[in-house]
Amino acid sequence: MVPKSLIEKVGSLYTLPDIALRVNELLSSDQASNDQLEEIIVNDPALTAQLLKLVNSAYYGFSGKVDTVSRAISMIGRQELRNIVIATSVASTFQDIPKDLVDMETFWYHSITSGVLARLLAEQCKRKEHERFFIAGLLNSIGKLILFSQFPEKAGEALTFKDRGEDAVTQAEQRIFGFTYAELGAELLKEWKLPSSIWQLVAAQTDPMNATDILQDACILHVAAKIAASIEPCSVKTHDFEDFNPTYLPEAWEALGLSDESIKPLTLDASLQAFEILGIIRPGATLIF
């Protein structure tokens, strides 16, 4: 079995909501007007409310209040609009994931933290189109949910190596399935017709130093995901980062060209922003922390 054939077999179980597909299709066509996008969004009151809450959050940091969809689109741009629509939709795509394998609120908190941190790192590294890093970070572990859902026993077997670290779990996935969650997730994002600049990062995150064509971009996602995995959910309240010990590859951090002193401030900023975004995307989820 290979990731592509598995996604062809089960991909229909993991489709984005219709509104997300319509927005993504319009944006991919390069022919959509802001009026068309606004018309689709305002017909979904829940999405409209979430869009405006996110645009007015600390993540964007606009000085004035944004109170209309048209103004939101003009201020954040179309790629950020895609990010928000997918971010607010994707959680509903994955239901009935075995609770003994993953706590979904923690999963999405870590995923959002990965996305925010990847975007912050990309800004620091002056990467082009840094908004794409948020969605790559948000969806970096989406392949794990497919494994948990479709192969709970085998996925559970891989998780028995968790006490040896995340890399040991990934290596176990390779032995058990013949591929990793990263490769599987990338195939799903292809199926969703997301740009290659997003799914390529997801595919390369576990082995960034061999992603020669997109090395720095892959290292950004790798570092962001590893840092997010090292943060406990309660960190947004009490963690002082004294015991902070992410397990990213040292050479991946070196490829970013950033100082070691920048890690903790960026991580604290990302965790606080992620907590706010989680409360918008999954109302009530923050009550468990």
Summarised one tens digit per residue, pLDDT across range 245-277 is 678 999 999 999 999 888 889 998 998 899 889
List the domains of the chain with CATH numbers: 3-15+95-288 (1.10.3210.10)
Q: Which residues lie below 8 Å from residue 172, measured CB to CB, with a gap of 6+? A: 157, 158, 160, 161
Question: Would you state the structure tokens that stand for residue 226, as one six-digit string?
Answer: 């590893």
Closest to 216 in 3D by CA, of 143, 111, 128 = 128
- Residue 237 and residue 289 in contact, taking contact as beta carbons nearer than 8 Å: yes
Kindly report the length of the chain.
289
Q: Which of 46-60, 71-85, 169-183 has the highest mean pLDDT?
A: 169-183
Cα–Cα distance between 65 and 267 in angstroms, integer? 26
Tell me the pLDDT tens digit for each residue of 131-180.
899 999 999 999 999 999 999 999 999 999 988 888 999 999 999 999 99
Q: d(Cα 261, Cα 270) in Å, to the nearest integer?
A: 15
pLDDT of 286 over the 90 cut? no
Please report, in angstroms and rounded to a whole number, the separation of the first and last CA atoms in the chain.
39
**C-alpha pair distances (Å), 105 with each of 213, 224, 250, 281:** 34, 19, 30, 11
Distance (Å, rounded) from C-alpha 11 to C-alpha 281?
Answer: 23
For residues 52-58, give the mean pLDDT.
92
pLDDT, position 94: 85
List Cβ neighbours of 276 (8 Å cut-off, separation of 6 or more). Answer: 57, 58, 59
For tokens 């292809």, name the residue: 190
Task: Assign 245 to helix, strand or coil.
Answer: coil
CB 195 within 8 A of CB 132: yes
Beta carbons of 40 and 23 less than 8 angstroms apart: yes
Q: What does the pLDDT read at residue 235?
A: 36
- What tens digit of pLDDT does each residue of 88-129 get? 888 888 877 888 898 888 899 999 999 999 999 999 999 988
* C-alpha span between 220 and 71 (Å, rounded): 31
Written as one letter, the residue type at 126 is K
C-alpha R_g of the chain: 18
Q: Band of the pLDDT at 25, cuts 50, 70, 90? A: confident
Structure confidence at residue 39 (pLDDT): 92
34 near 40, Cβ under 8 Å? no
Confidence of residue 234 (pLDDT cuts 50, 70, 90): very low
